[in-house]
Every structure is written in C-alpha cells, then in structure tokens.
Chain A
Amino acid sequence: MKDDRVLLDHGSGGLATKRLIEEFFLSRLANDYLSRLEDSAVVPVQEGRLAFTTDSYVVDPIFFPGGDIGSLAVHGTINDLAMQGAAPMALSMGLILEEGLMFSELERVAESISQACIEAGVAIAAADTKVVPLGKGDKIFINTSGIGRVPKGLYLGAHRARPGDVVIVSGFVGDHGAAILTARSNLSFGTEIKSDSAPLHALVSAVLERCPSDKIRLFRDPTRGGLATVLNEIAMSSNVCIEIDQDAVPIRQEVSGVCELLGLDPLYLANEGKCVVVVEEDHSQLVMDALSGLALGRHAAVIGCVKELGGVGRPVVTMNTSIGGRRIISMLSGEPLPRIC
C-alpha cells in the first residue's frame, strides 16, 4: 500500500474511505471522542467562557524544514486559542486530499498530526476527509477548528494596549517565513533555516501563572504579515502608537541573510511559534522571567513600548533604526515579492 496514491474512490464515503480513515488516522489519532465515529463529538462544558477559532492550511511545500502542513495545522489553531489565554480542549480537522497524493506523504502528514497532538496534549475530536480530482487541489489542504476554555476573569485583546505598556516578543522572528521561502525557491545556504512551528498554550499559561492577568493586555501571534502587521493591528485597535528598537528585535543572522538576498524584510515574515505580549510596564519583568525559563521563550526580548498618538495624529508603528534614525513600520500589503537586483 505504501507506493499507492489517493484515488477519488477514497472520498466516496464507502469502503475505500473507511479504510483510508482507519489506516491513516484512527490508528494514530484514536481518542474517546473520535473513535466513536459519530456525526459530532460531544464535549463536556465547564463554567466560564469558550474560545472558538478556525484556520485553513494550504502551505506549499507541504514538508519544510522544522515542520509540515500537519503539525502546522495543529499548532496554528492551538496558538489562536492560546492568544486568548484559552486552554485548548479539542480540535476538529477537515482534510481535502488531491487525487494522486502519495500514501507515503499522507502517512507522514498523519504521523506528524498525531505527534503534534500528543506533544500538545490536545485531541482531535472530530474529523472529515474529502478527495478532489487531480489538479483541483494542491496535494493536501487542512482546516482545523478548536475550542478552548478561557480562565475566569481573564480579558485579553488587541484593543487593550495603553501608553506606557511594554511590548515583548517571545523569540526570534521570521523563521517560518524564511524557512518556507528558502524551501520554495530551492535556495540553499550554509545553515538550514527551520520553521519555528510550535504550540504556545503552555508558554501563555506559564506567563499567566507568573504575572497577574489583569496586568497583561494581550497576546498575539504574528503569523501571516509578521511582527510588523501585528504591531500595526494592535496600534490601530488600541488607538495608540508603538515604538520599537531595531537592535532589540531578535532576528537570526541567517534569516537576515536570506532577507538581504531576496530583498525582504524579516519584520513581515510569518512566525508560527512566537507571540507578542503587551504588558503593563511594572510587570514586564515578571513576563520576561516566565518566558526566559521556557525553551520556547528563552530568546524573548523587550522590543519597545506603547506611546500616545504623536505628531502624525493617527496610530503608527515607528522603529528606531540601528544607526539612530527613525522609520515608520507599515502594514504588509500583498505577498512579499522578491526583488530583481
């Protein structure tokens, strides 16, 4: 079966579908919810509020240094829950497979989904598989949705930043975007750049344990559009300005190198295992202490602060450059295009 490929039959809903689901997914993802194969999973509800999110994953290539579309689909949705301070309770997963996908590739993705779920301690409670004809998809698309429990009294949001607050990023920025770009363009460099794809719910809960939650304004994961875009979203939602220092933003040298070569700006590259934390100034050290004790947060850095609206008269993000100049950091518009010369 290993050299076989996905056929339209596998999406028919009949025996072939059943076999595919059993061989690739149930064997790996079995849990009390999924194994019942009911039309929907029934999840017990506790008191309080639920966070609910969905995201689709269409990354090309499906395997890249540091991860693949499967682990990414698990991490991405967990992180969207985590940014609200929610403890993930269950995920759902919809797979759209393209006819002709190698079983060996599907197996790798299924294995990676399973590993990511085990490592994160989250179950896939509901799942669905469809097959589309060759040329109507791109190997594999995954949608995951997730629900999570928000602790009582915890209110986070991009609109809560206040002048004087401190802006922290949990580690090196741009790794995921740089890894995908280099994998996609077949560029090779001395050192391989790996995606930072990772679940952040443990990191968020460690921060919330250490620092009084009313002092934390928000968490935000800078995925598409990168750090620059997230900072602009925060500034606009909160009607404030944000000022960051170029020298303070952690960027790996190899990521800078790729960006120089391709004419891209690492501040706009996607991250899949990083978050921005905005916290009241007096409590920023507690957040830094919590982050620096974790593997995923040990390169965390204070990168700037929140300011009143300045001379520009509207929310802007500015950066003090390494040489002492200033520039405005705008939102990303459109896909970053590599330059000519």
Chain B
Amino acid sequence: MGNDRFMDKQAVQSLIEEIRRLAQRPMRFMEVCGTHTMSIFRHGIRTLLPKEIELVSGPGCPVCVTPVGQIDQMINLSLIPGVAVATFGDMLRVPGSKGSLAEARARGGQVEVVYSPVDALMLAKDQPNGTICFLGIGFETTTPSVAATILQARENRIRNFCVYSTHKLMPPALDALMAEPDLDIDGLLCPGHVSTIIGTQAYGPISEKYGLPCVVAGFEPLDILLGVYMLVRQVVDGRCQVENAYERAVSAQGNERARRVTEAVFEPVGSRWRGLGFIDASGLALREEFGELDARCRFELKEIDIPDPKGCRCSRIIKGIETPGACPLFSNVCTPLHPVGPCMVSSEGTCAAYYKYGGILEEKIR
C-alpha cells in the first residue's frame, strides 16, 4: 500500500530513534487532518512513538464539522420531487436530526453517490428532466474542482444542476481553535492536501500569534514521522516556525491558479462548524452572479440551527480536548453502523478511526 519508498522500515526505525532521543518531556501535537489520523492508525504509528509523544486529532474532517442543520437541509433537498442530490459517499450515513441521507433514500429520497463533482454534472446532462444538486463539501483541496465544475455548468448552460455549498476554510478554523482556553498543544501537524493549495505561508500568522510550531506533512508513514520529528526538534530548540516536511507536494505559495478558480466562484462567509460554533469568514458561498447554480438561491433555503445530540462529545473531540474513550456513547451507543455524532460516521472521523483501528486498545497491544 502506498509508496514503498515512504514506508521503509529502517528509515522509520531511525526516525523513531531520533524522536525518542530528543523527546525527554511529554509533548502533545495535533494532527489537523483526518487523512493524517487514518494514516497514523492504519500504520500503527502511535504504537511506535515513545510514550512522551501524544498525537491528538483535530477538526480536519469536512464531514465531521458539517452542522446538523445543514445535514437536515441536504435530506430535505433529496425529498423534493424531481431533485436528486449527488454526494460523496461519506455523507450518506451522517446523522441529521431526523435520520441520514441513507435513510432518506430508503424513504424514497433521490440520492446518488458520485466520486467527483464532474460526475454530478454528467448526471445532470444525462437526466435533463430532473435537477441534480451536488453537495459541495470539503476544505481548500476539494473546492477548486467544485468551482471548476460550476464554471463548466455555466459555460455549457446546464440549467438542471446546482450546488449546495458547505465548503470551509482551514486557517480561520485553526485560528479559532488555537484561541480555545482548554486547548493544550505543543505544535501542529498541518494538513498536506490543504497545504498544496494554500501553501505553507498560510500558517505564518497562526504560528506567530500563538507561538506555535507548525510543520506541514504528507501522509505516508515517513512523511508523518518526519513531521513529528521536526515538531519535536522545534520544541526542543524553543523555536516556533512554519516548516515543510512535504516539499515534494507543497510550496510556500501553494497553488495560486486553483485559488483563483475558487475565488472566481466562491466568497468567504461566516460559517457554523459542528463542535467549533460560528466562525467569521470560515465558509464559502457561491458569489451572487452564480445565483442560478446555488441551491440556496434556487430553493430559497434558510439556515436551520439545530443543537448537537445530547451526550455526544464530538465537539470536544474535534477540538482535541478529549479522546473518544472519554465519551460515554463511544462504541456502545455510538458505532459506525449507528453513529450519534459526526466523528463516528466519516471514515476519517476521529471516533471512526478509534473504533476501526481499536484506538483505545492501542496501549494494550504496544
């Protein structure tokens, strides 16, 4: 699996040794991205690290931070006669206040699983008598392809296509998260995919404002361990810088062209994050000139505000303040088949990772 060059056992061993040698006191790092969380579990990386190093998972799973009200709205869209929602598979089982998209489908809602926004546009072309509403979800990495699809729809005058945007921006959320008084971390392992678009420059202000070491890392075992090593090094040296452990994919400037496409279609708006609450300028809405392609305009949707389910600790788990083991619902009431909170349903959610890879048992199999 993956690229063998980046999982060489000996190289891994020597990095682990270096980390072990340097880490003479407890250190807590947050991996922001859900893909990092999954990779860390999948390769058993936490079982290799010395006990001094604790990795906590952050809010970097777009499904997990989508609020209940918006899930309900997606479900409502799927139940409008003549409308089919097209979505990435992750969204299917996410519980809203009255069930999930999967349950809506069983009740006759029109839900199509697609692998890219272009697939959704193709569906619209193939089914001219219905409207396809694509659920736009994701951070800076996913948004450019959605923006490009919207441009394509406008250019080709495909009128039975629209997008329900829940797209979000990472830096404002990180800023809000770092301001949390309960949060106690020594450094950020920054998301590799998002950084290919926003560049390492995007973390400068956060690193400076909170005196926080930041390292952008890729997703193979050696990428992640190099990232952890560079964080440990910064802590030991007393530095707070933005460093890049993923130079083969990420530059300081990022991908300006992709950002321009996004900016042409979307504009920043205040946005609600499940677990984190309302954050200024942290979401993306379609610009007014794309009103025809905006599901919110087309169906005159009003934001629905619904509180998170009772007892669910996802909001504290998303912030890395608690781990899934601390949640009373984890693995008895809340499982991947019957998720209560969003962190359990997304394949990249922290709780799903803990459940699938036996996170709370890791200590016992070390």
Contacts and interface: CB of A to CB of B under 8 A. Distances in A.
Interface of A: 185, 187, 251, 256, 259-260, 262-263, 265-266, 310-312, 316, 318-328, 330, 333-334, 336-341
A182 B365 CA distance: 35
B243 interface: no
Contacts of B355: 330, 333
B193 to A, nearest CB: 6
A187 B141 CA distance: 21
B139 to A, nearest CB: 7
27 contacts: A185-B115, A260-B1, A262-B115, A265-B42, A266-B1, A311-B365, A323-B9, A323-B45, A323-B48, A326-B44, A327-B42, A327-B362, A327-B365, A328-B357, A328-B358, A328-B361, A328-B362, A333-B335, A333-B336, A333-B355, A334-B336, A338-B89, A338-B113, A338-B115, A339-B89, A340-B137, A341-B35
B315 interface: no
A243 B240 CA distance: 42
Interface of B: 1-2, 7, 9, 12-13, 35, 38, 41-48, 62-63, 88-93, 113, 115, 137-139, 141-142, 193, 221, 335-337, 346-348, 355-358, 361-362, 364-366
A22 B46 CA distance: 63
Binding site secondary structure of chain A: loop
A187 B9 contact: no
Nearest to B222: A323
Nearest to B137: A340
Minimum-distance CB pairs A-B, first 8: A325-B44, A328-B358, A337-B89, A311-B364, A338-B89, A327-B44, A333-B336, A321-B44
A122 to B, nearest CB: 36
Given A311-B364, A311-B365, A323-B43, A337 B9 contact: no
Question: B89, B138, B142, B355: which has the most chain A beta carbons within 10 Å?
Answer: B89
A325 B7 CA distance: 11
A315 B62 CA distance: 34
Nearest to B15: A323
Contacts of A333: 335-337, 355
Given A321-B43, A330-B356, A341-B35, A312 B89 contact: no
Contacts of B47: 325-327
Contacts of B347: 263, 336-337, 339
